[in-house]
Structure 1
């Protein structure tokens, strides 16, 4: 790994830069996430009606929870990818092998997935709070009130409601995002001769990652949102939610809000990865 210092300090630097990156980017992409979540919850959702009834500021409902979520979730899922990949690389390549060789796609996917699942556990409480705050169509609910409401209704375990769907989503999302980004950078370098750190390389690779993420994650994200917003008795777990949704609205309903998801994932993936690579370069960390 690039830079100096102990592995623990390097990990802290990776996570700190990832968290800072995510907090910067989420301020611009939160309104898109807000609209996407409302579309998933309500098939008759209209952004015009929402703005008319709740005001333009409603586009930023749930932002405090989103900021906390990014600090907890993205700092781990993005910041732990390179350290985990380096460990996998040290095990995969035997002694005497050129460790500068690239890992197979499946191992890059596994590294991203592992970081994503770990991050989802710590970010799940804020995902629950964000979803509840966004889905509220009345007066904006404060973060403190949302915490109190969830605890009163479901106890401490309520903050981890939907964890199975969230972990699955994080596994697929982060594995796809970082593996496709990593591999796409190599492809761009081979085809153009640009350096891996070049902003043009990073931009093109992150755009590919955004499209791949959307196709892979849209159905999982739909089910996760429904589980987090449902009453305690509405669904009997992940599979039951999928079955009921498909029976009621058809299989294509699993992709409801997918355009808004892409509209969010595209700019978010590009913004996160461009800023993250920029900060990594400044602080002496190797390029992903």
Structure 2
């Protein structure tokens, strides 16, 4: 049941944050391996990006990749929040005074995120390629003309086999381990501190709301560089053997980005990334708290 609760919380949050994910993906691909000033700028900031996307592709384009995005949330958060909750249920996260052990929370957040990343990697691959596809006038990165999620998976499988769907999975595991550990640990510690010190207790879920905002900020700062790398790796074209044409792996991608675009390229899309992470983290973790309360209530009455 813990896995179902975590998955449903992720789906609820994913629907509202998806437009910012589309913008983030486009901005991270913009100017790929080109120096500043040597490429067209279709997406200057979040409002400008949204305006251009709606202007050229229609308002529905802001929800591109929604199907794999929601499935990704269901799978990844079902696995990672389920594992994390199980660790808590078995007493692995708290001391004798029932206070969260930060190191343990960080460790299980990392492990659970890594497992979720492995399970959800094919969906993230398809989601990235669907989100990046646009009108030629505002196109960035490699353009994959997939009609939809199922067609994309079938095309990738037909061309590169089952392993082709897990291309870049090692990077997604690393990305998710960092993101999950920083998000869950900071949320848990902040919320517990506020609850124990009677801070922001005016409403039952106010402390969860504040703590999740802090979790979103921490996650965005730690996650964005790896997120840029993974967006590039997932979106690149591949040869007949399923090998990336532009990047051989995480290290090669990072090195080429620094050489061509400079270190600041790892901050690309940080604005929409936070605007995505903030409501997503808030909704995810507040939904998680609410669903856990509902689960406990059901268990008490059965």
Question: Which of 247, 259, 267 lines up with 1:235 in the alignment?
Answer: 247
Alignment partners' CA distance in 2, 1:77 and 1:20:
12
State which of 256, 264, 278 in structure 1 corresponds to 2:276.
264
- Whether 1:39 and 2:27 are equivalent positions in the alignment is yes
Give yes or no for the alignment of 1:80 onto 2:83.
yes
- 1:24 equivalent in structure 2: 12
Contact 2:13 2:281 in 1 (8 A): no
Of 162, 170, 184, the match for 2:168: 162
Stretches of structure 1 lacking an aligned partner (at least 5 in a row): 1-12
Q: Which moved more, 1:260-269 or 1:64-73?
A: 64-73
Q: Count residues with an aligned counterpart.
A: 267
CA distance, structure 1, for counterparts of residue 261 and residue 195 of structure 2: 44
Once the two structures are superposed, what CA deviation does each residue of 1:218-263 show, in whole Å capped at 9, x if it has no partner? Answer: 1011101100011222111110000001111000101100111000
So what's the TM-score if we normalise by structure 1? 0.87
- For residue 197 of structure 2, give the secondary structure of its aligned residue in structure 1: helix
Tell me what 1:150 maps to.
156
Please name the residue that 1:117 is paired with. 114
CA contact (8 A) 2:80 2:109 kept: yes
Distance across 2 between alignment mates of 1:70 and 1:220: 18
Distance 2:16 2:125 in 1: 21
Q: CA deviation at 1:88?
A: 6.2
Quote the offset at 1:201 in angstroms. Answer: 1.1
Mapped partners of 1:87, 1:280: distance in 2: 16
1:105 aligns with 2:99: no
> In the alignment, which residue of structure 1 is the partner of 2:292?
280
SS at match of 1:80: helix
| Unaligned runs of at least 5 residues, structure 2 | 32-40, 44-48, 136-144, 238-243, 298-302
